[in-house]
Amino acid sequence: MSFVTDHILSWLTFLPLLGALVILLVMPRRAVAAHWTALGVAILDLVLALVLWFGYDPAPGTDQYTERVAWFLDGAVQYHLAMDGISLVLVMLTALLGPLVILSTRKALTERVPLFQAMYLILQTAMIGTFLARDMLLFYVFWEAMLIPMYFIIGIWGGQRRIYAAVKFFIFTMAGSVFMLVAVIYCYFKAGSMNLQDWLALELTFQEQAWLFTAFALAFAIKVPLWPLHTWLPDAHVEAPTAGSVVLAGVLLKMGTYGLLRFAMPLFPDAAVAAAPLLAILAVIGIIFGALVAWVQTDVKKLVAYSSVSHLGFVVLGLFSLTAQGAAGGVFQMLAHGLSTGALFLLVGVIYERRHTREMDDFGGLAHGMPGYATVFMITMLASVGLPGLCGFIGEFMVLLGTYTSSMLPNSELMVVLAATGIILGAIYMLWMYQKVFMGPLRHEVNRGLADLNLREWIVLAPLVVFMIWLGVGPGLVLDKIEASVDRVLAPVVAVGAEAAAGRTGHAALLPDHHVLDPGTRVVPESTDTEVTR
Amino acid sequence: MTETALLRWIVFAPLLGAAINGLLNRRLPRQLSGLIGCATVGVSLILSIRVVMQLAALPVEDRVMVDIVGRWLSFGDLHLDIGFLLDPLSAVMILVVTGVGFLIHVYSVGYMAHDDGFQRFFTYLNLFIFAMLTLVLGENLPLLFVGWEGVGLCSYLLISFWFDDDVNADAGRKAFITNRVGDFGALLAMFVIAAVLLPQLGEGEGVFSFLTLQHHAAALGGVATLASLLLFLGVTGKSAQIPLYIWLPDAMAGPTPVSALIHAATMVTAGVYLMARMNFLLVLSPVAMSVIAGVGIATAIFAATIALTQTDIKKVLAYSTVSQLGYMVAACGVGAFKAGIFHVMTHAFFKALLFLGAGSVIHAMHHEQDMRVMGGLRGKMPVTWWTMLVGTLAIAGVAPLSGFFSKDEILYEAYLGAHGGFPWVWLIGFLAAGLTAFYMMRLLVLTFFGENRASAEVQSHIHESPWTMTLPLVVLAVLSFGGGWIGIPEGMGGGAWFQEWLKPVFAGGHGAAHGAHGGHHDHTLELVLAAISFTMALIGLGLGYLVYARRPGLAETARNWLGGGLHRLLNNKYFVDELYGTVIYRPLRAVSDVVMFRWIDRGLIDGLLVSGSAVLTLFVGSLLRLFQNGMVRFYAWVFALGVTVFTVYLTVGG
């Protein structure tokens, strides 16, 4: 057993890849066998994740289960996996969605099933690896590796404009990654290793930080996607098969916000603090813009895609509130969005399988014939619009509260006021869509007698619904795991703020002169005022 | 502070009912479904009576009971419990909610007997009671907010209950979204409060807990106006005040028991409850109090004028509800929280009664709601007629019925005022009271007097409703008649028990005001004002009877005399819906579609910046080739192999 327990993160990461190889080798043409094999592998991976879930000690919030061996360049590059609370909950989300997504493809996919299952498992390896890597080259490898299976999933099993969407997805992400690669190489030469710990100890000038932060943040912002870098998302979602959309919204979009929190912010804290107002403003624009554009879509899937732009805006706002509450709210919102939007895409897939359309005008009055479907859709929608008692509320509440009370983000109150309009707009577009699809008279005869959810669909959706409620009523399930880790990851940024607030000059060595002389560009004076008035 | 685990069961019993009804749905026989629905609320009612008796047995200054179920959210210095708080204020609310709620559940068994969605209806109704009890018992602001949005959800589900008709679905959506605009304010108010209090709290103190808030109220002085006005935005949504009242009249699209329970007796009074609950904050801001008083009393008369011309029986009652809520809100604004809550209670009795009576009429008239084709129902529906008469006299403010005492107290306190007097609030409230009496008499006459104007077919089926419907009417009639007697002021020889009961809740900041107008010695003014408003009620009723029963031509003459313009303005509800549609809704949608989506998103960002770039074109060309050689499997292989080799290398090499 020790072979498993000593390398549990490696098993967790590479088990899906192993499954993919088995499928490609043993059953390249047997759809059913491949499907069940993939499902079994994904469930096994989920079991491993659960073992970690219960084994992880959240109190210190440190990296645990570390596996670290020299890789090449005399150990300057290492195979280094580790897990803290933030990685844990995101890995858990990935591992939970895995079996559900695979199960959902049972009837939806008919073409090249084994290849698809293999692709999905490879993708899962890459995603989990991205969350666990603590060596920057290893991280970069996993990060890029995610791109390829996703590219094929959209490009092979997608809709009519799948090639365009796949290429667009690929190029957007690549474009960002190129900048990140340059930054990675720069830091490597600076630090003499690819190890995250070494990088965290780097002494960088503000100028360096600014460039490096920009490169990293660009790569991550595209992935989020942060407005206005989001236009690949609606195309990718609309063209991707259901399973692709689910994993895209459920996990892949979190890579960007995870990267910001894990790397961009703690590595370059001065730059992060300086850039926070800009990123927060873009996030707020995204919240409002995404919601308004979602409202005028006629394709349900496109509506959900734009709603992601809006929801991820909350995550970014939370991170750049530079408060523990806001950042933890952001992480929580990542999970909540993964559950609710993942479920929404599955639900859209359910109706697409039956009617081969996603246009709202082709529906209407479905609640009559499909009460189970309508109910699950309703609960998911409510979780998505942040109804208190469901998962969406906790994340939004903490993000907004953290931002409002932030002493480091200037004009944070105004940003909260603007961002909070998102809760009104969210209700507007979601209820609009729900009414057009489920309420009103049955406008089209073809929709009469559509089958309600079958057993397989219930099995896929039920766990998601359970967690939407669970996280809403007992958010401690997640918050307890991430609290100490968020504090640790945020520590460098908080330190910048604390030093600045205390008016110490010691840190000024890191900053260019104008930065010290011109307090207008710093967030500090505002926060000092706040402190005084309190 | 006493602990009791009973509180949670008051809240959870209806949730259990909702769960059973919701999960089993049609597999459940109707009788059983209705029984479960009523019984779970009945359990809540019995438990409520029990805990309130326990509460009453405690010494006055110790009348607080809590039940902490567990930790809800804990992060850094933010702590929220799932817990319930019973004090004299929430005691009144839970008795009203479970009491009236129980009666309306029973009524619904009859009213919805032939409906397809019987089980679904009881699921929603039980869920509503659960949410409403969470709202009034919640121990902290966010938990109150759970109930607050929960009742909004149930309202949405029940307004659009008959969702086949887009009109109903539209009305439900409108209600939810309008309420969300208010919720936006309530949410921001919480942040404003937290930003001030969080740094001041001790270890483990829940920042949003009402007990904590009250304890630290003094620290909130600097943000009291902002926080109060933001909370009040929430109130205007939930309690249908200007400018967000527009959803409530449309909400009448829901089944009538829903109108009675949610849109008259309980949910819409949540805003008044919230203000009473946060009274220690509101009284810190005279500005906010004045705004609240002004908006409340303006809503009272504004809605009353609209009610004058409506022909749909439920619409008249809806605008009447908006108007009555205006009184309650104005009461809070002048510092008369106790009077406001008193009116919440009496209004719950008589307005639920009036709605259920209207439902009984609608039921008998084959879902006809237009009063122009009603008439002469007195003889055919005696129970409905007599009980509705009681309801009408109660809302009109005829002594000694319940509405007289509560409305009179509001007007009296407004006249004297906790903050120096608001004579204009009194004057407007007094005029609106006259209008109330008038339009209610109009409703009564058009429905029950004269000849029936319906088709012979409908007429032949008119009958009194079954006992499940008439029994709640009778009980509510009794309560509407005598329910106000527990709050008869000392000046009229009463014991003012109700006011005494609530006193501990509003002790802070309010005692001085009471002393100022010397509520204990000079009763002459109180009696004079009461006599004046009683007279006003009689004049309104008399005029209404005269115009609609005795001189039917008079209404026509008055309408012509006023030039028709005023009538059209009132009949079209001052064109406020049209205004919102033209100024807010349609422009926003047009901007979203044309500017945001087509121009900026598709045109500028995606078209010009993205697709326009030559780099993309080049990449597309080269990558397309990748697909065209049909070697996808090969690439997958290469990829998988590469990763494997990499892994093996590491395992072995490491």
Q: What angle do CA B555, B557, B558 make, to 5 degrees?
A: 65
**pLDDT band at B39; cut points 50, 70, 90:** very high
Cβ contacts (< 8 Å) between A135 and chain B: which residues? none
CA distance A416 to A434: 27
> Could you tell me how many residues make up chain B?
654
CB A53 within 8 A of CB A88: yes
Are A405 and B195 an interchain contact pair (Cβ–Cβ within 8 Å)? yes
Chain B nearest CA to A414, separation (Å): 11
Reported as half-sphere exposure (CB side, CA atoms, 13 A), residue A483 has a value of 17
Are A404 and B160 an interchain contact pair (Cβ–Cβ within 8 Å)? no
Residue in A with minimal Cα distance to B195: A405
What is the average per-residue pLDDT within B356-361? 93
Are A295 and B163 an interchain contact pair (Cβ–Cβ within 8 Å)? no
What is the average per-residue pLDDT within A18-42? 91
Contacts of A91 (CB under 8 A, 6+ apart): A12, A49, A52, A83, A128, A131, A132
Cβ contacts (< 8 Å) between A69 and chain B: which residues? 650, 653-654
Tokens (6 digits) for A425: 């707009």
Evaluate if residue B511 carries a pLDDT over 60.
no
Evaluate if residue B506 carries a pLDDT over 70.
yes
Tokens (6 digits) for A525: 């004076």
Are B163 and A367 an interchain contact pair (Cβ–Cβ within 8 Å)? yes
**pLDDT band at B638; cut points 50, 70, 90:** low
Residues 193-212 in B contacting A (C-alpha not used; CB under 8 Å): 194-196, 198-200
3-state secondary structure of A65: strand
Which has more confidence, A396 or B598?
A396
CA distance A382 to A379: 5
pTM of the model: 0.90
Facing residue for A479 by CB, picked from B73, B165, B644: B73
Are B195 and A404 an interchain contact pair (Cβ–Cβ within 8 Å)? yes
Tokens (6 digits) for A116: 């698809």
Q: Does B71 touch chain A (CB under 8 A)?
A: yes
Q: What count of other Cβ atoms lies within 10 Å of the Cβ of residue B23?
A: 10
Q: DSSP per residue over B91-107, as a string?
A: HHHHHHHHHHHHHHHHH
Instruction: Classify strands B65-75 and B2-3 as parallel, antiparallel or unpaired.
Output: parallel
Write down the pLDDT at residue A488: 93
**pLDDT band at B648; cut points 50, 70, 90:** low
**pLDDT band at B514; cut points 50, 70, 90:** very low
φ, ψ at A135 (rounded to 5°) = -110, 130
Tokens (6 digits) for A424: 């009104």
Within its chain, how far is the Cα of B187 from the centroid? 17
Q: What count of other Cβ atoms lies within 10 Å of the Cβ of residue B204?
A: 8
Write down the pLDDT at residue A521: 37
Are B596 and A397 an interchain contact pair (Cβ–Cβ within 8 Å)? no
**pLDDT band at B495; cut points 50, 70, 90:** confident
Reported as half-sphere exposure (CB side, CA atoms, 13 A), residue B393 has a value of 16
Evaluate if residue A321 carries a pLDDT over 90.
yes
CA distance B370 to B365: 10
What is the 8-class DSSP label of residue A508?
A: G
CB A451 within 8 A of CB B197: no
Which has more confidence, A4 or A482?
A482
Are B75 and A371 an interchain contact pair (Cβ–Cβ within 8 Å)? no
Q: What count of other Cβ atoms lies within 10 Å of the Cβ of residue A322?
A: 28
Per-residue pLDDT reduced to its tens digit, A192-206: 889 998 899 888 899
Q: Which of B24, B74, B75, B635 to mutate to test the interface with A (most CBs of A within 10 A)?
A: B75
Kindly state the helix (H) or strand (E) to which residue B233 belongs, with its residue range. Answer: helix B224-238
Q: How many CB pairs under 8 A join A and B?
A: 189
**pLDDT band at B145; cut points 50, 70, 90:** very high
Cβ contacts (< 8 Å) between A475 and chain B: which residues? 72-73
**pLDDT band at B548; cut points 50, 70, 90:** confident
Chain A nearest CA to B342, separation (Å): 30
Q: Report the mean per-residue pLDDT for chain A.
A: 88
Facing residue for B637 by CB, picked from A24, A155, A424: A24
Report ipTM for this prediction. 0.89
Q: What count of other Cβ atoms lies within 10 Å of the Cβ of residue B652?
A: 7
Q: Does B374 touch chain A (CB under 8 A)?
A: no
Q: DSSP per residue over B528-554, as a string?
A: HHHHHHHHHHHHHHHHHHIIIII-HHH
Q: Which of B124, B163, B617 to mutate to test the interface with A (most CBs of A within 10 A)?
A: B163
Evaluate if residue B576 carries a pLDDT over 50.
yes
What is the average per-residue pLDDT within A376-393? 95
Which has more confidence, B177 or A178?
B177
Facing residue for B596 by CB, picked from A70, A292, A387: A292
Per-residue pLDDT reduced to its tens digit, B395-445: 999 988 999 999 999 998 888 865 566 788 999 999 999 999 999 999 999
Cβ contacts (< 8 Å) between A231 and chain B: which residues? 601, 605-606, 610
Per-residue pLDDT reduced to its tens digit, A234-272: 989 999 999 999 999 999 999 999 999 999 999 999 999
Facing residue for B164 by CB, picked from A325, A398, A440: A440
What is the average per-residue pLDDT within B48-64? 92
Tell me if the bond preceding A225 is cis, omega within 30° of 0. Answer: yes
What is the average per-residue pLDDT within B255-277? 93
- Residue matched to tokens 């049972």: A106
Residues 626-645 in B contacting A (C-alpha not used; CB under 8 Å): 627, 632-633, 635-637, 639-640, 643-644
Q: Which of A74, A138, A152 to mutate to test the interface with B (most CBs of B within 10 A)?
A: A152
**For a pLDDT cut of 90, what percent of chain B falls above it?**
55
Chain A nearest CA to B198, separation (Å): 9
Return the minimum-mean-pLDDT range out of A27-41, A208-222, A415-429, A495-509.
A495-509
Counts of helices then strands in chain A (DSSP H, E): 24, 2
Are B647 and A432 an interchain contact pair (Cβ–Cβ within 8 Å)? no
Q: Which of B187, B188, B609, B637 to mutate to test the interface with A (most CBs of A within 10 A)?
A: B187
Cβ contacts (< 8 Å) between A405 and chain B: which residues? 191, 194-195, 198
Are A534 and B146 an interchain contact pair (Cβ–Cβ within 8 Å)? no
Write down the pLDDT at residue B516: 41
Cβ contacts (< 8 Å) between B640 and chain A: which residues? 17, 20-21, 24, 118, 122
The closest alpha carbon to B86, from B76, B73, B95, B99, belongs to B95
3-class SS letters over B345-407 = HHHHHHHHHHHHHHHHHHHHCCCCCEHHHCCCCCCCCHHHHHHHHHHHHHHHCCCCCHHHHHH
Residues 512-541 in B contacting A (C-alpha not used; CB under 8 Å): none
Evaluate if residue B479 carries a pLDDT over 90.
yes
Tell me if the bond preceding A228 is cis, omega within 30° of 0. Answer: yes
Which has more confidence, B638 or A482?
A482
Contacts of A270 (CB under 8 A, 6+ apart): A206, A209, A496, A507, A510, A511
Between the two ends of chain B, the Cα-to-Cα distance in Å is: 64
What is the average per-residue pLDDT within A500-519? 48
Q: Which of A113, A231, A533 to mutate to test the interface with B (most CBs of B within 10 A)?
A: A231
Facing residue for B194 by CB, picked from A167, A405, A435: A405
Write down the pLDDT at residue B651: 55
Contacts of B438 (CB under 8 A, 6+ apart): B308, B540, B541, B543, B544
Are A440 and B184 an interchain contact pair (Cβ–Cβ within 8 Å)? no
Evaluate if residue A463 carries a pLDDT over 90.
yes
Per-residue pLDDT reduced to its tens digit, A172-195: 888 888 889 989 989 998 888 899
Which has more confidence, B150 or A173?
B150
